[in-house]
Structure 1
């Protein structure tokens, strides 16, 4: 009997090998079918120990993605039972290779709760837990020779991570430059944009790629999911340690994302075309210096308010407010933007200190641009953030707030109030703008003009987490302009530098002033302490340039030139007097 089974297996393998060779020889066939990496049963026991120590809290006892923490996470942890793995080099619907799972465990998944376990686990622990995860798959069998896998990203060295070549082919441009992968020719970016429109990528990812296209998407298990925000490539799944690499997008287009509505586009797009779409997507992401620990942009802890001659134009779309999200130390600003204020990056996180904690904030950053005017004696703060979908429930409006020390003059040195609503000794001044988008529906097609916001603004005094109250004095803060456009909220605050309110922050120039930010997503029922928060940053009103700065340099230059001319003339005159004998060497000229 054993001999018969052995012969049957031999014949079966022979047939599979013959079919694989036949597929290679067929015209137009790019890939040869293989079989999944089988489970290494010798490592299951050690892998089980790692899993139940590190992984069970999110992925559950049986790997169903139903651990104790699962309900607090978005997107939810992966359900292993069906063998549906998202980040792979294999074709849609197929099982992953071991190296795919190893990379996922080692590097984590940016933009999700999946951490990089390579910082905590040894190589053997990672390999063993991968084998145990594979054993949790019930609907598929890694050891079944009938399971077919096609490595659509072949030729990748495991040590290099997701940076290889294969059926996708080489990109149709020379190598990109540095860690920011700059230098992709504009012609390929433009071609990628055309393909983006032609293949209706905007239906899910939105008109400008912020993931604001389809609010009704669900994964294979019926849980809500959202499309990737391409303007925040540091949150792309599988992008860890090389967030600006266009290969991350080209891979996703080539393989699809199992368990989600994202298909592969290998039938619709050639290899070079997939690279071109990746080039366009890559161009949408601003270049910022990436923190080595968080692998997100390093925040701009000093927010500089630019002095404005005359009055500030209170219009978001005015050229004086235009600025790039990209750090000008990486890509130089254009001449038109050099004098404009910088767009500062502010990191946000969920409030998990007390009350209704927010483990899943929808905004993990803000962008702040600011100007001030001595003529108006006022300061303007333009706050922007990406929000896929706006609230339609008046009970839960979207909102953003700026927090200041109310008694700035009483703070000593680097003292600051408590970062959430201050405390009894150090109160805070809070400006909160709440809003709903007019005539908005999340299922609308992209609106090139955007949506105006129905706005209300309130000012609060905070003396502690449970001591937040409306100001009794007349409101001083105005919202002078606002809009929701292609997945981005923009709100412009204005307030006088000096006011008479007891708990109004008085804003001096040329002084570092603590400032922080709050944000609420109404669509996700965020309100009160259930919010996203920042730490304290500093802002400074840059002084006006004195008039002498403009006329003194030319005067100094003219004086210097005249002095140099006089010195040359005196030298020539002295030599002439020596030559004519009118003066001895030890005498000075008269």
Structure 2
């Protein structure tokens, strides 16, 4: 064999080894690298800057500031703080962690807003041209990055597709084994360190964003507040995207290298299963408020045990999904929306609690009514000067109201007083930085009864009406308070609400976060709703259904017998 042939054979051998090595290297590379599309950032569209600037200084400057530093006139009143554009750190993206967003990401954010923050959906106010233009102007405010530079390259991620053939509300049909696997992934990756043991965001009270401002982890049980989830709050894709990309500027990292795409969908299935299904109001992107709280009739005494079956009810709205298999109770949770009180004093734009869950029972034997009030609050305060508090407000002279007439919803007025049941409390042996306590915390709690004739005239009753707190607990970011009071009282000044049965009674709620030093009119508050003490079932409602069932069953037996007899007569020739 000559030298030329030997060199040719050697080259072939080397080439084969190179191909094999490259193939093995490719196979060893994590699949995530092939789930990305690398591209340059979208350059600034210069022809749209003039219109974009006009829109920005008319709509956006008040929060984001003149230079985009997140320091506008309203910024100090908002939680979380408005986005600082200077560094180019944007939360909602389909690009990799730390990278610039695509135009389509920014346009969607401006159009849909960011639920759970002060960023509204500008798509309901601005035209598409205005939204595209203001996005271009915002990109010019970024100083530390260059959308038009040659050194930026964006990795656009592929999040895969939902493994299950389910549609909104994305709950029924997801295999339980996927949800269980997602819970294991949650525990393995220590998501509870920030999001808490039951997902209410109560894991870490010391987190800050990149600019040093306080920030909290998402409450997974209130998925309508997830950033980037507007118009589609129950879609697990939002969880997959956030786990894949992280949230720039926050402590939330990406987990694309730690968790496979398949496992991210399982984690999303678990997170998604924690959120109660309620019909969403398209305007507010919050659950539709329940304006009627039914108080269930109880023949004997009402249990004060939170775990008693009479207080068990799924948080899922039966209009959206079926109640769990085997559920035999007659209760449901009522959703009551709260908002910051902004009419007086320090303008409170940033209450940490934006809803309550309420259920109620009343006892014919005790002639008393019970209201169980629950709300999610990640961390409680420990300063006796600023106790935590929640209150139920009633018309003080219900019998004197005509038709739909009600007192002013904040402390009443001089002509129409209000009766306020206020529970004030501090947790025992608690610190926000404690390790998780599976048993929760008992509360050092007291109740005060107030009479309100307006902002300047709120005082304690000289003769209380007998309101009691019969049970209370703080557990994994959830406060539970059970109020009790007799239906009627003998208060001589007649400011106690006298609670009738089978009548619609105005009711509203207040909540103070002691950790945020809320007090007096600095609080979260609901508008007036109604409650009704439901009457017992009439006797005929109890015995009539069995009788009707027996009659129907007897008719069916007679029909079967007559059919068999007719067939037999035909067979014997006795009938044509």
3-state SS, counterpart of residue 409 of structure 1: helix
Where does residue 160 of structure 2 map in the other structure? 169
Asked if 1:301 corresponds to 2:291, the answer is yes
Where does residue 69 of structure 2 map in the other structure? 64
Matches within 5 A, 1:17-32: 27=27, 28=29, 29-30=33-34, 31-32=36-37
Where does residue 250 of structure 2 map in the other structure? 260
Where does residue 190 of structure 1 map in the other structure? 180
Distance 1:200 1:562 in 2: 61
3-state SS, counterpart of residue 90 of structure 2: coil
User: Structure 1 residues 424, 268: CA separation in 2 closer, same or farther (over 3 Å shift)?
Assistant: same
RMSD: 2.0
Asked if 1:378 corresponds to 2:378, the answer is no
How many Å apart are 1:338 and its aligned residue? 3.7
Distance 2:37 2:543 in 1: 75
Distance 1:515 1:197 in 2: 41
How many Å apart are 1:232 and its aligned residue? 0.4
How many Å apart are 1:180 and its aligned residue? 4.4
How many Å apart are 1:549 and its aligned residue? 3.2
My pick for the range that moved more, 325-334 or 538-547, is 325-334
Where does residue 122 of structure 1 map in the other structure? 127
Give CA deviations for 1:434-474 in whole Å, capped at 9, x if unaligned.
Answer: 01111111112222111111101000011111111110113
1:329 to 315, 319, 323: 319
How many Å apart are 1:292 and its aligned residue? 1.4
How many Å apart are 1:563 and its aligned residue? 11
2:154 to 127, 149, 158: 149
Distance 2:408 2:470 in 1: 29
Matches within 5 A, 1:69-80: 69-80=74-85
1:92 to 72, 97, 100: 97
3-state SS, counterpart of residue 358 of structure 2: strand
User: Structure 1 residues 315, 129: CA separation in 2 closer, same or farther (over 3 Å shift)?
Assistant: same
Give the TM-score normalised by the residue count of structure 2. 0.89
Where does residue 542 of structure 2 map in the other structure? 550
User: Structure 1 residues 428, 128: CA separation in 2 closer, same or farther (over 3 Å shift)?
Assistant: same
Where does residue 524 of structure 1 map in the other structure? 516
Matches within 5 A, 1:193-272: 193-272=183-262
3-state SS, counterpart of residue 224 of structure 2: helix
Distance 2:262 2:336 in 1: 36
Distance 2:225 2:180 in 1: 24
Structure 1 contact 39–134 (Cα < 8 Å) conserved: yes
Where does residue 342 of structure 1 map in the other structure? 332
1:537 to 529, 534, 544: 529
Distance 1:434 1:335 in 2: 38
How many Å apart are 1:192 and its aligned residue? 0.4
1:512 to 498, 504, 509: 504
User: Structure 1 residues 553, 189: CA separation in 2 closer, same or farther (over 3 Å shift)?
Assistant: closer
Distance 2:294 2:480 in 1: 18
Where does residue 424 of structure 2 map in the other structure? 434
Distance 2:425 2:217 in 1: 24
Give CA deviations for 1:172-194 in whole Å, capped at 9, x if unaligned.
Answer: x3222234453211111100000
My pick for the range that moved more, 197-206 or 290-299, is 290-299
Distance 1:543 1:242 in 2: 39
Structure 2 contact 170–236 (Cα < 8 Å) conserved: no
Matches within 5 A, 1:284-299: 284-299=274-289
1:51 to 39, 49, 56: 56
Distance 1:559 1:290 in 2: 43
3-state SS, counterpart of residue 83 of structure 2: coil
Structure 2 contact 336–355 (Cα < 8 Å) conserved: yes
Give CA deviations for 1:263-287 in whole Å, capped at 9, x if unaligned.
Answer: 0001101000111111100000000
How many Å apart are 1:74 and its aligned residue? 0.4
3-state SS, counterpart of residue 154 of structure 2: coil
Distance 1:348 1:338 in 2: 30
Asked if 1:454 corresponds to 2:459, the answer is no
1:415 to 405, 420, 424: 405
Matches within 5 A, 1:492-511: 492-501=482-491, 502-511=494-503
3-state SS, counterpart of residue 368 of structure 1: strand
Distance 1:132 1:555 in 2: 74
User: Structure 1 residues 407, 439: CA separation in 2 closer, same or farther (over 3 Å shift)?
Assistant: same
Instruction: Give the number of equivalent residue pairs.
Output: 529
Structure 1 contact 299–347 (Cα < 8 Å) conserved: yes
Distance 1:266 1:208 in 2: 23
Where does residue 115 of structure 2 map in the other structure? 110
Distance 1:356 1:558 in 2: 66
3-state SS, counterpart of residue 422 of structure 2: strand
**Which runs of 5 or more residues in structure 1 are unaligned?**
1-21, 153-165, 567-590
Give CA deviations for 1:485-528 in whole Å, capped at 9, x if unaligned.
Answer: 11110000000001011211000110000000000011011111
Give the TM-score normalised by the residue count of structure 1. 0.87
User: Structure 1 residues 558, 142: CA separation in 2 closer, same or farther (over 3 Å shift)?
Assistant: closer
Structure 2 contact 313–329 (Cα < 8 Å) conserved: no
3-state SS, counterpart of residue 150 of structure 1: strand
How many Å apart are 1:195 and its aligned residue? 0.4
Asked if 1:131 corresponds to 2:136, the answer is yes
